[in-house]
Amino acid sequence: MSPSEKRPTKDLSPAPRRHPLAARAAVCLALIATLCMGLWGGYALRFTHTDQVQDELQKNWAYPDREKPDMQKAALEGMISALDDPYTHLFTPSEGEAYNQSVDGAVLGIGLGYRPLERGVLVIEAYRDGPAEKAGILPGDIITQVNGTDITEEDAPVGELLTDGGAGTRTLTVQRGQELLTVEVEVKELQNDLFYEVRTAGDKSFGYVQLTTFGSDTGEHLEEALQDFKEQHIDILVLDLRDNGGGYLTAAKQVLDLFVKKGELLFTVDPGNGIDQKYRATGRDKYTFAHSYLLVNGETASASEIAAAALSQLADFQLVGTQTYGKGVVQRQKELTDGSILKYTYARWLTPDGSCVEGQGLTPDIEVSNPQMGEDIPLRIERDWQVDGVGDEVAYTQQLLATLGYAPDRTDGYYSEATRQAMQDFERQHGLEPDGICSHSDYRYLVAYTVLHISSDENDDQYRALLEQIEQL
């Protein structure tokens, strides 16, 4: 302000009185204006940071010979990727439906576990009492066609070829070693959350239950099995949770409630906000056995670990196998307006003694490993291999040969003379050209026979160790 300028004098005369309604109206208008500015400001800010970028790129981005991506989908995928959480996913409506059906154990299919190949699928497991097992399909088989249509992962996945058209008979083309088989199989609604039967170990009988998931009706199905065992006066129980990746928390509680006495803390869900949810056993009737065992492995996860932890800590179950997966967090689902489903992590869970298994898993009472074909081993190779060749594919070949009992003398990726001899022995035994060279087709047979080998009961060291325990009772 310049020296010549004068400050305005403050008017000290009384202000004219305003009507109360006018004052209230002014306040309301001010509040509305403030609210609108806040809403618009928030919207503008969001638009500036996200929507404006998307809008600009959708309108003006161009690149020769490239299609514009789905910006909204990419943004959502980016959000989920930024979480670095392997358990948070956004499913399309059809993917979400398929996921929930698989968790429930109720699906349309033939009862098959498989891994896709470039052409066809490699059978990992034919589920007990399922249509595939009844049709004679074995682990290690390669299914190449359904009703004469070639199976390809991208254009004609086996799941779609089997289920298109609903229930009914399908004709499968199956490669088993060097044989090409035609197999008729029935596609139908399956409830494959568990399988049970009475088995023997020496002169001892025991009830065996294989639980593949913790679905909505698993507790009810397990109780039917337990009741059947009791009617046959079975007093030894085995629950097989190997390769069971989990399911619903409520299903785990229902299973535990069949064994654990009233009032015991089964597990705790801790969302991290200080408000824990504690799950306790109810007063319903319980099932008790003189001896109880759980078979577990590195794929026993989530709800399976919840059940295993509580049964071992509260119901005297012994764990047999290898360290479990170590998934100590839980997810929930939210259906979005377009029918897609967001599955996201919201809490961790704690065992009855307050431990968290995340990243650690449960340690068995009796540790026994089974032969395995690692997840990192590819199902095909890019080239043929012979003596003096060096590469990861040679190392995979050597690992498979060693698993089958051949003697490659090393597994470091150098194709030695001993590796050639081991390959030649394998080829000769399975009717292949015995040249000692690992060709594309030789490797495919090697993978198939390895799957068959590790899936056979004779090579299930964990189950055999369990039988020895039961025989000694």
- Pair 346, 271: CB distance under 8 Å: yes
- In a domain? residue 306: yes
| Statement to judge: residues 126 and 213 lie in one domain | no
CATH number assigned to the domain comprising residue 357:
3.90.226.10
| Statement to judge: residues 204 and 331 lie in one domain | yes
- In a domain? residue 128: yes
| Statement to judge: residues 384 and 467 lie in one domain | yes
| Statement to judge: residues 331 and 202 lie in one domain | yes
| Statement to judge: residues 356 and 438 lie in one domain | no
- In a domain? residue 97: no
pTM for this prediction: 0.81
CATH number assigned to the domain comprising residue 388:
1.10.101.10
| Statement to judge: residues 396 and 469 lie in one domain | yes
Q: What is the count of structural domains for the chain?
A: 3
| Statement to judge: residues 162 and 270 lie in one domain | no
- In a domain? residue 7: no
- In a domain? residue 468: yes
| Statement to judge: residues 124 and 244 lie in one domain | no
CATH number assigned to the domain comprising residue 110:
2.30.42.10
Range of the domain at 326: 194-335+344-367
pLDDT tens-place values along the chain, 473 residues long = 444 443 343 343 344 444 554 445 444 445 444 444 454 455 455 555 777 888 888 888 888 788 878 888 888 889 999 999 999 999 999 888 888 888 887 778 999 888 888 788 999 989 888 999 999 999 999 999 999 999 987 667 888 888 888 899 999 999 998 899 999 999 998 888 999 999 999 999 999 999 999 999 999 999 999 999 999 999 999 999 999 999 999 999 999 999 999 999 999 999 988 899 999 999 999 999 999 999 999 999 999 999 999 999 999 999 999 999 999 999 999 999 999 999 999 999 999 999 999 999 999 999 999 988 877 899 899 999 999 999 999 999 999 999 999 999 999 999 999 999 999 999 999 999 999 999 999 999 999 999 989 988 889 999 999 999 999 99
| Statement to judge: residues 354 and 219 lie in one domain | yes
Q: Is 410 left (phi over 0), alpha (psi -120 to 50) or beta?
A: beta
| Statement to judge: residues 321 and 261 lie in one domain | yes
| Statement to judge: residues 129 and 220 lie in one domain | no
| Statement to judge: residues 127 and 267 lie in one domain | no
